[in-house]
Structure 1
Amino acid sequence: MKSLYRATLAALSLFVLGSCEKYVDIKTQGQLVPGTMENYRYLLNSTTNWESAPAISDMASDDLEILDGSAQQQSLANNDYYGYYKRAYQWDDVIYPIENQYYKDDNWTRMYHSIAYANTVIAEVPNASDGTAQEKAALIAEAKIHRASAYLMLVNTYAKPYNQGSASTDLGVPLVLEPTTEQSLERGTVQRAYETILADIEAALPALPTTQEYATLPSKASAYGLLARTYLYMNRYTEAATAADQALAINSQLIDLTSIAELTATSYPQRFFNPEILLSKVPVNGISAYTPTAFRLSADLEALFNDSDQRYNLFTVPGDIISSWDVYEGRYYYLDYIMDEGRNVGPTVPEMLLIKAEAEARNNQPAAAMTLVNQLRASRILPSGQVNLTASSANDALLKVVQERRREFMFRMLRWWDMRRLKDDPLFQKTYTRTVGGQTFTLAPNSNRYVFRIPQYEINLSPEIEQNP
């Protein structure tokens, strides 16, 4: 990773000095002065530097089901480029084998790229030749939110789920907090990673604007949303609910899906302007339109929907729309293809409502939990369906909240994270099985395969990085 980080820093130097192609595209060369605030503003506006999120989480989750023997399965079996897709789906020990032609893990690489960009802004903006202290603090705050988001995604991909009893000894991820290649890349602990994430968010909050024009730019609403998500995955439900409330106090907008007859690029807002998105993040490797990589809904996910749920009606399609081949039966996720843009996996208004609902259920307040769930469902379920749900107990409410999370966040990264954090809870504990090419793969609650192994390529570059078991 030292080599990767060094290359990223070199590219950043070119950007800040005004000689990289993207920089020239934004303004005619020579119109900007190196080291000025405008350089860093342009860097923060370059969405491709900041939006990256893991894609392999969706491939490992139980949202997805590939029928064994289908054209989709056979196409993946014979496609080396998409080998990572099949291996993640099978929960293989190694997703990016070093002997493979495609041995680099874009999930890891792109998030550390974002961290490198963030570190440059945080370190260099204080020495910018212009700008007020307040303006500088605002840019640094944006970079810290992006860095916190990247580390939250990294630790929930390449480290064990947070457990208060073992977080101080469980291996985390390398914490690169300075724009230098001379620091140690030894893995800290999960506890240290979460402490770093929380510290960045708390430090950023005072200087952030309340809202931003585009969902790609961090704001106070983004920060509170990210804080709520972080506390949820630390099992600190009361604090998660408090942060969710703070986010909702700024933005509680929901898109009324029941008023949309057909999903088109004009009937549904583009990601940058989507009022529900608190901070836009997009899985790497583009849109899931090519049939081998299309996301086919698993049988148990599809069973959670009915024809009154607009998330099902608008965001999924029959297989014959994915492919003219009859073998593409079932239902496929299609939102990102229709919108011609990556699907958001960053914090949203619906996520805040469901975080609050989960906290209420865990606090033995099932009615309050269902009120929040139903607030969301009112904008999702047609009047012909059952809009309002009820719960007979706190456990029943918790089950219904988690089911609603599955419906709302299908193929949005969070299902895999939820499987990880809930795997030891008797209410949700389950052993998963998949059959690929006639071979059965199993994911038990105590399996190490809930943690993706760090790509061997990165360990070869930086041998001090300890591999996951």
Structure 2
Amino acid sequence: MKKVVKKIAILFCLVNLGMFTSSCEKFVEYQTQGSLVPKDVANYRYLLNNTSAYETGIILGDLASDDIALEDASQQTSLNFASYSYYKNTYTWQDDIFPLNTSYENDTDWNLMYARIFRTNTIIGELPSSTGTTSEKAKLRAEALVHRADAYLTLINQYAKPYSATSATDLGVPLLLTQTVSQQLDRANVETVYQQIISDLKQATPNLPLTQLYNTLPSKPSAYGLLSRTYLYMNNYALAEAYADSALALRSTLNNLAGMTDVTKHPKRISDPEILLSKIVTYGTSAYSPTAMRMSSDLVALFDANDQRYNFFTVPASRISSTYTGRYFYRELALGENRNIGPSVPEMMLIKAECQARTGQTAQAMNLVNTLRKNRVLATAFVPQEASSANDALVKVINERRREFCFRMLRWWDMRRLKNDPLFQKTITRTFNGVTYTLAPDSKRYVLPIAQYLIKLNPEIIPNP
């Protein structure tokens, strides 16, 4: 038992959590200290208000997706440094993204999600014996359940196969539901993890408020949005649409980029009316040239000069480096803050549109796409899109998802779920330092590898092929 405690303690005590190994014991024993009264329900409110512990998400999916194309030799040379190994290895779909005995042998994405799960399990486990009203405790438990569900939805879409007919036997991720640090990290199957996500969100919904002061705090629209996203990735389009409707019934405001002349007037993430639950990537994109994200040619081709997402959130290469070419993603520099990867009003609209397209409701699907585009494309150039068939509408919806959510993690998840659909199937190639890499539709590299460091510490974790 002692050996297992040590292994899991190491899993959570990482530099990227602001803690070094020497502080592991204090962290895993996680007790309220100082002036706070032990077992007081207010303590858990403070814990859930710790934004950095619950808002920070993942990064690797953006680097693996076809949104990115790092084609300039000078940038590729810069990314050869050890400090960028995870960036290069993910971009080229390597079997091992975090090689052992290197400066980046541990997976920040994995560790952040399990640290969040550990925190939420602590809150869920301790709340029943805390002082406070039943309603107070129910609300806090609901918030913790939403954060836990989001973490598992993130993990299952990065380290396991896409949901399919074989999900009951496909390896998922370790499913930890209590605060103990003595559990084995055996991988639950994909179906079991998805059912836990749904259970957490459905348990949470009745006890969540309609609104919260900040977008970092879960609300009913947050839970509905995550349920809609979950069912979409389970290919359950009826329930994905139903929960998108539930979210939109409570929150449906769109920011009018089309009428915005100064992007600094764009609402901040914490109060942006479009965001149902704020989640951000691990490392924000910046103008720092080695890690700047060059847009792939097919992504650029989806935009035109009248699209304010293109005008506000992308820049020519010269803004990044005089030696670079093409177009670069620039959203965070434009807004001065990290990009949201959590559920949003536009996502709910496009999930609903996709579900309608899949059931032959072509006109309704295109109406939703055009409602969004009216708020994104300059009025002087806006022309409603039309679809000649349900399949044509579906392609237009997916293209709109790509424009709206570029470099916000959803593209990689979409690539995974759509890779076997003849409408979207393709083989991706990219060349890095003279070597060509290929990602075929049937490639096992659509499932990212679990870091060897984690498997070494926890040999019960079966690695991905």
TM range (shorter): over 0.9
Distance 1:232 1:412 in 2: 17
The answer to whether structure 1 residue 330 and structure 2 residue 326 are counterparts is yes
Alignment of 1:259-408 (within 5 A): 259-264=259-264, 267-323=265-321, 325=322, 327-408=323-404
Structure 2 residue identity aligned to 1:231: Y
Report the 3-state secondary structure (helix = DSSP H, G, I; strand = E; otherwise coil) of the residue aligned with 1:17: coil
Distance 1:53 1:10 in 2: 25
CA-CA distance at 1:74 after TM superposition: 1.3
1:59–1:88 Cα contact (<8 Å) kept: yes
The alpha-carbon distance between structure 1 residues 65 and 241, as it changes in their structure 2 partners (threshold 3 A), is same
Q: Counterpart in 2 of 1:74?
A: 77
Distance 2:146 2:399 in 1: 29
Distance 2:171 2:41 in 1: 38
Structure 1 residue identity aligned to 2:54: W
Report the 3-state secondary structure (helix = DSSP H, G, I; strand = E; otherwise coil) of the residue aligned with 1:317: strand
Structure 1 unmatched runs, 5+: 20-29
CA-CA distance at 1:11 after TM superposition: 4.6
Report the 3-state secondary structure (helix = DSSP H, G, I; strand = E; otherwise coil) of the residue aligned with 2:263: coil
Distance 1:11 1:426 in 2: 52
Q: Percent identity of the aligned residues?
A: 54
Q: Counterpart in 2 of 1:108?
A: 110
The answer to whether structure 1 residue 453 and structure 2 residue 449 are counterparts is yes
Report the 3-state secondary structure (helix = DSSP H, G, I; strand = E; otherwise coil) of the residue aligned with 2:82: coil
One of 86, 89, 95 as aligned partner of 1:87: 89
Distance 2:96 2:277 in 1: 31
The answer to whether structure 1 residue 160 and structure 2 residue 166 are counterparts is no
CA-CA distance at 1:4 after TM superposition: 3.1
Distance 1:400 1:4 in 2: 46
Q: How many residues align?
A: 450
Q: Counterpart in 1 of 2:8?
A: 2
Report the 3-state secondary structure (helix = DSSP H, G, I; strand = E; otherwise coil) of the residue aligned with 1:188: strand
The answer to whether structure 1 residue 121 and structure 2 residue 123 are counterparts is yes
Structure 2 residue identity aligned to 1:399: V
The alpha-carbon distance between structure 1 residues 116 and 11, as it changes in their structure 2 partners (threshold 3 A), is farther
Report the 3-state secondary structure (helix = DSSP H, G, I; strand = E; otherwise coil) of the residue aligned with 1:435: strand
1:68–1:438 Cα contact (<8 Å) kept: no
Distance 2:217 2:229 in 1: 18
Report the 3-state secondary structure (helix = DSSP H, G, I; strand = E; otherwise coil) of the residue aligned with 2:413: helix
Q: Counterpart in 1 of 2:49?
A: 45
Q: Counterpart in 1 of 2:186?
A: 186
Q: Counterpart in 2 of 1:441?
A: 437
Q: Counterpart in 1 of 2:424?
A: 428
Distance 1:6 1:400 in 2: 42
CA-CA distance at 1:169 after TM superposition: 0.6
2:339–2:408 Cα contact (<8 Å) kept: yes
1:16–1:40 Cα contact (<8 Å) kept: no
2:9–2:28 Cα contact (<8 Å) kept: no
- Tell me the alpha carbon deviations over residues 174-221 of structure 1, each in whole angstroms, 9 at most, x when there is no partner: 001110122221001000110010000001001111111111000000
CA-CA distance at 1:340 after TM superposition: 2.8
Structure 1 residue identity aligned to 2:145: K
One of 13, 29, 32 as aligned partner of 1:17: 32
CA-CA distance at 1:37 after TM superposition: 1.4
2:215–2:275 Cα contact (<8 Å) kept: yes
The Cα RMSD (Å) is 1.4
Report the 3-state secondary structure (helix = DSSP H, G, I; strand = E; otherwise coil) of the residue aligned with 2:75: helix
- Tell me the alpha carbon deviations over residues 344-383 of structure 1, each in whole angstroms, 9 at most, x when there is no partner: 1000000000000000000011111100111111100111
Distance 1:128 1:7 in 2: 26
CA-CA distance at 1:68 after TM superposition: 4.5
Q: Counterpart in 2 of 1:25?
A: none
The alpha-carbon distance between structure 1 residues 49 and 6, as it changes in their structure 2 partners (threshold 3 A), is closer
CA-CA distance at 1:51 after TM superposition: 1.2
Q: Counterpart in 1 of 2:242?
A: 242
1:308–1:381 Cα contact (<8 Å) kept: yes
The alpha-carbon distance between structure 1 residues 93 and 237, as it changes in their structure 2 partners (threshold 3 A), is same
- Tell me the alpha carbon deviations over residues 310-360 of structure 1, each in whole angstroms, 9 at most, x when there is no partner: 00001111112223x2x2221111111233322110000000000000000
The alpha-carbon distance between structure 1 residues 290 and 332, as it changes in their structure 2 partners (threshold 3 A), is same
Q: Counterpart in 2 of 1:24?
A: none
Q: Counterpart in 2 of 1:23?
A: none
Distance 1:50 1:304 in 2: 33
1:308–1:382 Cα contact (<8 Å) kept: yes
2:11–2:454 Cα contact (<8 Å) kept: no
The answer to whether structure 1 residue 465 and structure 2 residue 465 are counterparts is no
Distance 2:318 2:12 in 1: 46
Report the 3-state secondary structure (helix = DSSP H, G, I; strand = E; otherwise coil) of the residue aligned with 1:283: coil
Structure 2 residue identity aligned to 1:102: Y
Distance 1:439 1:468 in 2: 24
Structure 2 unmatched runs, 5+: 1-6, 15-23
The alpha-carbon distance between structure 1 residues 119 and 149, as it changes in their structure 2 partners (threshold 3 A), is same
CA-CA distance at 1:149 after TM superposition: 0.1
CA-CA distance at 1:5 after TM superposition: 5.0
Structure 2 residue identity aligned to 1:415: R
Distance 1:5 1:66 in 2: 32
